[in-house]
Amino acid sequence: MRRLSRELQRLGHNVSHTLVASLLHEQGYSLQGNKKSREGTSHPDWDDQFRHISRRVRGMQRRKQPVISVDTKKKELVGDFKNQGKEWRPRGDPEIVRVHDFKIPELGKANPYGVYDLTHNAGWVSIGIDHDTAKFAVNSIRRWWTKMGRAAYPEANQLLITADSGGSNGSRNRLWKLELQTLADDTGLTITVCHFPPGTSKWNKIEHRMFSHISKNWRGKPLTSLAVIVNLIARTTTDTGLRIRCELDRRKYPKGKKVTDAEMAVLNMRQDKFHGDWNYKFLPRAQH
């Protein structure tokens, strides 16, 4: 307002910043922030891909094969920081937290990577303390299979993974594909991947069937340690019977690993006829 009044005064108008504000309000103006609502141009095959994923999921479930939805949850600062939401406490006794959200070096950040079993309404979360890489993502799936999936599906010979198109499990991520091939080799499972089209990650089941409930469960609670994060996630339940297992993954996952053309050439990968960039599978190799 002061800047506008100065410019108007230079033009010969004797106006104050308060008068400028009043005139703007009279004209129907107000201070407003940005509003997120524009999705951008949709891909012409969005609907067909959703139908394709739905058919694949139903088909796998009819054959009693595992179907999982995977994604990385928002990274969280570890320490006595403000956590969104409110929790019941004695009147006048709020939880005291830090004013500024600066990372505490000795505590760092937590990288939660989730695996959600669509059929059994059960989930796994690996809490990484290093980088969110494709190797970390696939190791999280591996740990789910070893500690939960294999027991739930003792006759399984296939696995269907639904994921969004970006990040550590992105459709163009070469390391993601290399690690999935290794997982297929080690488990003997044929691993099929179906990606949601770009800009549609909110439809990924893990977002609203698991991650949203974790956020509700720890609302208003500072995530003061890795142990607190693990316990809060593991104690998340719903009326529909959701159960989650959560463990720390203290391994190092350095960024910047390059996958060569030669490594890609020996993958036993088959791309689907419909959008092979979004839909593909890995068959176990006899030797690798």
Distance (Å, whole) CA 112 – CA 211: 10
Distance (Å, whole) CA 13 – CA 212: 55
State the pLDDT at residue 288. Answer: 45
pLDDT band of 287, cuts 50, 70, 90: low
**pLDDT for 34-89, tens place per residue?**
765 444 456 778 899 999 999 999 999 999 999 999 999 999 999 988 888 887 77
pLDDT band of 26, cuts 50, 70, 90: confident
State the pLDDT at residue 137. Answer: 98
Residue bearing the bigger pLDDT, 34 or 140: 140
State the pLDDT at residue 251. Answer: 97
Mean pLDDT (whole number) for 267-279: 96
Question: For 246, phi and psi rounded to 5 degrees?
Answer: -135, 135
* CATH architecture, domain defined by 46-86+95-282: 2-Layer Sandwich (3.30)
Mean pLDDT (whole number) for 159-176: 96
**pLDDT for 204-233, tens place per residue?**
999 999 999 999 999 988 999 999 999 999
Mean pLDDT (whole number) for 12-24: 89
Token pair for residue 143? 């740990």
SS (H, E, C) 102-132: CCCCCCCEEEEEEEEECCCCEEEEEEECCCC
State the pLDDT at residue 285. Answer: 95
* 122-134 per-residue burial string, b: 16 or more CB within 10 A, e: under 16: bbbbbbbbbebbb
State the pLDDT at residue 41. Answer: 53
State the pLDDT at residue 51. Answer: 96
Q: Count the helices and strands in the chain (H runs, E runs).
A: 10, 9
Task: Specify the pairing of strand 190-195 against strand 158-163.
Answer: parallel
Distance (Å, whole) CA 112 – CA 218: 14
Distance (Å, whole) CA 103 – CA 107: 8
* Nearest C-alpha neighbor of 274 from the set 55, 45, 61, 43: 45
What does 69-110 look like in DSSP terms, one character per residue? EEEEPPPEE-SS---SS-----TT-PPP--SS----TTT-EE
